[in-house]
Amino acid sequence: MSIVQEITQDSIQVAKDYVHQVYEAVIQRNPHESEFHQAVKEIFDSLVPVFAKYPTYIKHGILERISEPERLITFRVPWVDDRGQVQVNRGFRVQFNSSLGPYKGGLRFHPSVNASIIKFLGFEQTFKNSLTGQPIGGGKGGSDFDPKGKSDGEIMRFTQSFMTELCKYIGPDEDVPAGDIGVGAREIGYMFGQYKRIRGGFEAGVLTGKGIGYGGSLARKEATGYGTVYFVQEMLKDAGLSFDGSTVVVSGSGNVSIYAIEKASQLGAKVVACSDSNGYVYDPAGINLDTVKRLKEVERSRISEYVKVHPTASYYEGCTGIWSIPCDIALPCATQNEIDDESARLLVANGVKAVAEGANMPSSLEAIEVFLESGVLFGPAKAANAGGVAVSALEMAQNSMRLSWTFEEVDAKLHIIMTNIYRNSVKAAEEYGYPGNLVVGANIAGFIRVADAAIAQGVI
């Protein structure tokens, strides 16, 4: 935006009124969608100084446009379980914003999935993807299907049925899904096979997170966890700190957690705890990652099994207790709202120095307030976990060129992208009067690229 206005009390009030009015309209138009409201509120509140400085955004109705998805598709997913019983789930794809490129974002299979969760994830994804600097719009999808306890045959029949409908809406230049909770390389493989069979062509770029043997990118599996740690490395460096010798707690034990633990350990940290949706393990000797990989990536079993092979460790039921373990660095990598204000206060009281979100929206708005007010270094999700989708964009690029880069090449590009996201967020926070506040900085930096592209493309 070129028309700059001097920031005065009046211009701030106009901006606040605008943000408030559009937020109220979002609540009215999307009733009972608390996760979506939460994600919208976090971004909208950060943008007040932008509208105070560049009021022409208001004339362009930019908040109204970016908070309304371009489309939300829901569909029936019928499948037959191993007993011969017909089951029906609901499938979703939100195509949130295509200002910067084809819709891009993962698919989540979890019983909690509903329109609110898919819309919060799609909204967040739009700004996260913008921060990566890659040419990707924002989307998200999934189903309320519960993969836990399902046989391999059931997973395949479900994912094939899901793709039979989803394939009508996606394509390498239209919408490119990937994994998220409950969707990993196995599910992507089955979906890719079904898409190929229906379309009758090998369109490698239609999905990312594919197996290395058929168009996947090296380092995609590691990218989100590694990227989060690279981001934290930059935060720590600016504060004169480092991972070396630190104690780290990582929630979850899925894709993001495993590779966050791996990279943090490589940098000299001792990771003492991780979890799943039933409970957490605390191992003062340091979590043995080979055991976690075997339990979660190979056997698909519970984290409680860990203590059977590691007598130094203890297992505790429930997810929130993990935040009572004293640590220097906390990396929530499981799911949304896993840290409330009480857990945040506990972490601060126990001396946490840095918190970074590997998961999407793992801290409640109140928890974020606690971290920011107490001066803890805080890396918000859309910046700190952008490494996964960034490498997905690199996978799309490799697919278009019909070549593949080495692990080292992709990892080096990921490192540069994460460092740039950190620097751009720091810069935006400073420029708009919130030095050190990466929540505001990431939201503003992500927003401006999307907003300017949307306005340049007219009222569509």
Among 37, 65, 104, 270, binds ligand 2IT (CB under 6 A): 104
Q: Does 319 bind ligand NDP (CB under 6 A)?
A: yes
Residue 140 annotated among the catalytic residues of the structure: yes
Residue with smallest beta-carbon separation from ligand 2IT: 106
Sequence-distant (6+) residues with CB within 8 A of 408 are: none
DSSP bridge pairs for 281 = 274, 315
Our CB check for ligand 2IT shows the closer of 272 and 438 to be 438
Q: Does 97 bind ligand NDP (CB under 6 A)?
A: no
Q: Does 178 bind ligand 2IT (CB under 6 A)?
A: yes
Using the CB atoms, write b or e for 25-41: b if 16+ within 10 Å.
Answer: ebeeebeebebbbbbbe
Per partner kind, with CB cut-offs from 5 to 8 A, the member of ligand NDP, ligand 2IT, none near residue 104 is: ligand 2IT
Under 8 Å between Cβ of 382 and 128: yes
- For 138, the 3-state DSSP assignment is strand
**How far apart (Å, rounded) are the C-alpha atoms in residues 54 and 301?**
53
- Residue 339 C-beta: closest distance to ligand NDP, Å: 11
- Footprint (CB under 6 A) of ligand NDP, residues 221-250: 224
Strand (E) positions, 59-202? 71-80, 86-97, 103-109, 138-143, 175-178
Among 335, 364, 399, 443, binds ligand NDP (CB under 6 A): 335
Under 8 Å between Cβ of 275 and 322: yes
Per partner kind, with CB cut-offs from 5 to 8 A, the member of ligand NDP, ligand 2IT, none near residue 137 is: none
Residue in the block written with tokens 């009067």: 433
Say which DSSP state 352 is in: -
Query: Which among 268, 235, 270, 274 is positioned nearest to 251, based on CA atoms?
Result: 274
Which residue is catalytic, options 104, 119, 128, 140? 140
Residue with smallest beta-carbon separation from ligand NDP: 254
Q: Does 221 bind ligand 2IT (CB under 6 A)?
A: no
Stretch of 99-107, 143-151, 238-246, 266-274 contacting ligand 2IT, by CB under 6 A? 99-107
Under 8 Å between Cβ of 372 and 224: no
Instruction: List contacts with ligand 2IT (CB under 6 A).
Output: 104-106, 125, 128, 178, 180, 208, 360, 388-389, 392
Instruction: List contacts with ligand NDP (CB under 6 A).
Output: 179-182, 224, 252-257, 276-278, 319, 333-335, 358-360, 385, 388
Active-site residues, by number, are 140
